[in-house]
């Protein structure tokens, strides 16, 4: 199987509006058994390119050029002919498995659907094949899970089901569009390892689309960098990502989270040198099921944060990070322990006293689009915390404060009159940060504040957080599943596993000399561009590459 792509243009035509070119001059070849990674930021045209190959471009869009699969130009095929290509010859794994899977259909039936459509098997045989595929993608207790619904599986298990669906009709080319974006680092490593095994075992070709350079470096032989719908640079992955020739690729790589020199905050505050701003003592939060079974989401956590420092918490989904953040914010009550803010137990206070204390700590949420009211102006959104403070400025003074706050996060005062949909993702996160700091709090709880952002925008937001720490002496509780981000931003770090910290210390101590096996597992699982290709390649090749790089 060989795929030759030459997309001259993907145009968007809308009624009474001039045609707009979204993608142009994209060309690449994927040979039989080859792997190609396409990287770029949001809006670069990565996903549109994959949809053009599958013949799934949205209404109003049309691709021009040639997409030739084993001598057949897919752009010249009708819809009925393309239905015989999709699945049987080209399979696709979509980014978000929860939305890609049918929530009302059992997973076994969803896998069997493609088998029945392309292989002509009986229903019993298709079910048996679906079970084999579930076992192949390492779904635990596959014989029982085959009748489960998507909501009964974890995120990693749902992505494995998506892989099984794509494999079911027996395609020779697999297109994976951001297949690991929403997954924890260890689950991401498992999915990449599985894809690599399938490539090597079945001799399949892979087109991997991702904004994560480390993911692409871990599995792709060749890489294509895109920006604004056009190709920027292409070649062997090692050459493109380690010795890039184009300024844009160099900037993209320069935006990767890097370990800093672990210098203390510019405010002069030293960990342990002052009274803690926030102190958490033996915190517990248990949830009880209808059967009476108790789940300890937070189990005996203790830590403290000094003024003007950034305390990072890293861990996988379900470890208790977000539950801990909600308790620290007073949005959930613990079943045991204390949360002290400036020496005062926030859960020993009345509602009125808690509102007074809450002026001193605010929160930045993970998804800026979901946390900003689309019907409110930026001015109204940003000033929301001021309604808790009877002494907050009003009228002209409030307008000036809004302008100053927006300017402090890299926006402009006129932006106050605009609405969230008029801003990019990174700008919306800046608005969320402006809302958190306008009341001049002493502590900001940031729950996955950069996980939904592109690399360059992520770097800008991280730089902004450091600048706010240094300029205003703000303290941050920074929560993330990304080790590189936490290592870059944090003064001190806690590694969380099953409701408790398994390791704490300075960022240098935790990431350079990890003591706990779980911390080492997380570090080993995170891909990087400075590592040899890990997946989809024979072990002897990996060893030769390591020796050459040594």
Residue 1 has pLDDT above 90, yes or no: no
pLDDT at 274: 61
What pLDDT is stored for residue 543 in this prediction? Answer: 46
What are the residue ranges of helices labelled H in 445-504?
455-472, 483-489
499 touches 319 (CB < 8 A): yes
- Spans of all domains in the chain: 5-89+173-256, 106-170, 278-525
Whether the CB-CB separation of 302 and 280 falls below 8 Å is answered with yes
pLDDT interval class at 475 (50, 70, 90): very high
Q: At a CB cut-off of 8 Å and minimum separation 6, what does 315 contact? A: 321, 481, 495, 496, 497
Looking at the chain, the whole-number percentage of residues with pLDDT higher than 90 is: 64
The mean per-residue pLDDT over the stretch 453-478 comes to: 89
pLDDT at 252 over 50: yes
CB atoms within 10 A of CB 549: 11
CA distances from 97 to 83, 162, 353 (A): 21, 6, 44
pLDDT of residue 516: 95
Reduced to 3 states (helix: H, G, I; strand: E, B; else coil), residue 329 is coil
Q: Contact, 416 vs 407, CB < 8 A? A: no
User: Minimal CA–CA distance to 463: which of 453, 319, 126?
Assistant: 453
For residue 41, give the nearest of 479, 528, 536, 459 by alpha carbon: 459
Pick the range with the lowest mean pLDDT from 97-106, 277-286, 327-336. 97-106
Other CB atoms within 10 A of residue 459 CB: 22
pLDDT tens digits, residue range 32-41?
999 999 999 8
CATH number, span 5-89+173-256: 3.40.50.300
- Beta bridge partner(s), residue 336: 284
Query: Domain spanning 278-525 has what CATH number?
Result: 3.40.50.300
* C-beta separation of 267 from 469 below 8 A: yes
Q: Do domains 5-89+173-256 and 278-525 have the same CATH topology?
A: yes
Dump pLDDT digits (tens) for 351-388.
888 888 888 999 998 777 788 999 999 999 999 999 87
Q: Give 140-164 pLDDT, tens digit per residue.
A: 899 999 999 998 888 788 889 999 9
Q: Are 111 and 130 in contact (CB under 8 A)?
A: yes
Question: Residue 385 and residue 402: Cα distance in Å, rounded?
Answer: 12
Starting at the edge strand found earlier in the chain, the sheet holding 278-288 runs 294-305, 278-288, 336-341, 344-345
**What pairs with residue 310 in β-bridges?**
476
Per-residue pLDDT reduced to its tens digit, 100-128: 899 999 999 999 999 999 998 999 999 99
Pairing type for strands 336-341 and 278-288 reads antiparallel
Cβ atoms of 36 and 209 within 8 Å: the answer is no
Q: Are 461 and 449 in contact (CB under 8 A)?
A: yes
* Strand-strand pairing, 443-447 and 361-364: parallel
Q: Are strands 35-39 and 205-210 parallel, antiparallel or unpaired?
A: parallel
Asked if residues 430 and 465 have their Cβ atoms less than 8 Å apart, the reply is no
pLDDT in tens, 514-547: 999 999 999 999 998 988 898 886 544 444 444 4
């Amino acid at each position: 199987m060989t795929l030759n792509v030459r997309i001259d243009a993907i145009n968007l035509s809308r009624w009474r509006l001039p045609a707009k070119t979204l993608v142009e001059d994209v060309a690449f070849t994927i040979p039989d058994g080859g792997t190609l990674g396409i990287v770029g930021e949001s809006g670069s045209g990565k996903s549109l390119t994959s949809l053009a190959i599958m013949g799934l471009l949205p209404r109003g869009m049309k691709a021009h050029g040639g997409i030739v699969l084993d001598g057949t130009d897919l752009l010249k095929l009708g819809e009925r002919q393309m239905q015989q290509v999709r699945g049987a010859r080209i399979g696709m794994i979509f980014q978000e498995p929860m939305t890609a899977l049918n929530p009302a259909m059992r997973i076994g039936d969803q896998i069997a659907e493609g088998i029945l459509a392309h292989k002509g098997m009986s229903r019993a045989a298709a079910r048996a094949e679906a079970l084999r595929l579930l076992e192949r993608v390492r779904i635990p207790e596959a014989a029982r899970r085959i009748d489960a619904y998507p909501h009964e599986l974890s995120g990693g298990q749902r992505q494995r089901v998506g892989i099984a669906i794509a494999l079911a009709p027996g395609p020779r080319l697999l297109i994976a569009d951001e297949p690991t974006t929403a997954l924890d680092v260890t689950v991401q490593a498992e999915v990449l390892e599985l894809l690599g095994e399938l490539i090597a075992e079945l001799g399949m070709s892979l087109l991997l689309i991702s904004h994560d350079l480390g993911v692409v470096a871990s599995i792709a032989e060749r890489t294509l960098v895109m920006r604004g719908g056009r190709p920027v640079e292409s070649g062997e992955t090692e050459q493109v990502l380690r010795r890039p020739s184009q300024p844009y690729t160099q900037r993209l790589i320069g935006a990767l989270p890097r370990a800093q020199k672990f210098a203390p905050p510019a405010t002069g505050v030293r960990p342990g040198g002052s009274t803690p701003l926030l102190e958490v003592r033996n915190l517990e939060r248990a949830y009880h099921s209808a059967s009476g079974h108790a789940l300890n989401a937070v189990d005996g956590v203790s830590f403290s944060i000094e003024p003007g420092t950034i305390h990072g918490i890293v861990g996988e989904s379900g470890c208790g990070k977000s539950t801990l953040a909600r308790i620290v914010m007073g949005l959930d009550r613990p079943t045991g322990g204390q949360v002290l803010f400036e020496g005062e137990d926030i859960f020993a206070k009345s509602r009125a006293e808690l509102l007074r204390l809450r002026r001193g700590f605010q929160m930045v949420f993970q998804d800026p689009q979901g946390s900003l009211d689309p019907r409110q102006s930026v001015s109204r959104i940003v000033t929301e915390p001021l309604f808790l403070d009877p002494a907050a400025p009003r009228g002209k003074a409030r307008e000036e404060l809004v302008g100053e706050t927006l300017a402090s996060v890299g926006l402009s005062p006129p932006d106050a009159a605009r609405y969230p949909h008029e801003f990019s993702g990174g700008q919306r996160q800046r608005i969320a940060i402006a809302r958190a700091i306008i009341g001049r709090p002493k502590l900001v709880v940031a729950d996955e504040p950069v996980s939904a952002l592109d690399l360059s925008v992520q770097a800008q937001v991280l730089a902004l957080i450091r600048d706010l720490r240094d300029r205003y002496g703000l303290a941050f509780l920074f929560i993330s599943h990304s080790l590189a981000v936490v290592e870059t931003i944090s003064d001190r770090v806690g590694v969380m596993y099953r409701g408790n910290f398994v390791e704490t210390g300075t960022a240098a101590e935790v990431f350079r000399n990890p003591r706990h096996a779980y911390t080492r597992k997380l570090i080993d699982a995170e891909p990087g561009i400075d590592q040899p290709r890990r997946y989809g390649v024979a072990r002897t090749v990996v060893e030769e590459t390591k020796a050459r790089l040594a």
